[in-house]
């Protein structure tokens, strides 16, 4: 089990990115959260098995092929939250 703090830059607000991220996490049974930041970036916390997280991050980096454009992703490992049960969608 791993947990990562992810910051995504690009065209990621106002284009359905948080919903896309949530769907990708739920498909892989990952927990965590996604929210817009006031600087135009998006913050993600994602937790689960490393192979599922790798697949998730690859999908996030690729985007939806329509409106989402990811320019940069910063990924840092952080402490696992053993009681976290779901992936949530937040605002700021």
Q: Is 39 annotated in the active site?
A: no
Catalytic residue among 36, 39, 69, 86: 36
Main-chain dihedrals φ then ψ at residue 7, nearest 5 degrees = -115, 130
Residues 6+ apart with CB under 8 A from 23: none
Ranges of beta strands (E only) in the chain are 2-11, 31-36, 42-48, 69-77, 87-89
Catalytic residue among 18, 28, 39, 66: 18
Please list the helix, strand and coil fractions of the chain in percent, rounded to the nearest 5, in that order: 25, 40, 35
Residues identified as active-site: 18, 36
């Amino acid at each position: 089990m791993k947990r990562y703090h992810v910051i995504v830059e690009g065209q990621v607000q106002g284009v359905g990115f948080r919903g896309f991220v949530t769907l990708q996490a739920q498909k892989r049974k990952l927990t965590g959260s996604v929210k817009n930041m006031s600087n135009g970036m998006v913050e993600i916390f994602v937790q689960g098995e490393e192979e599922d997280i790798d697949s998730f991050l690859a999908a996030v980096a690729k985007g939806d092929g329509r409106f989402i454009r990811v320019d940069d992703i910063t990924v840092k490992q952080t402490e696992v939250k053993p009681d976290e049960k779901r992936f949530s969608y937040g605002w700021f």
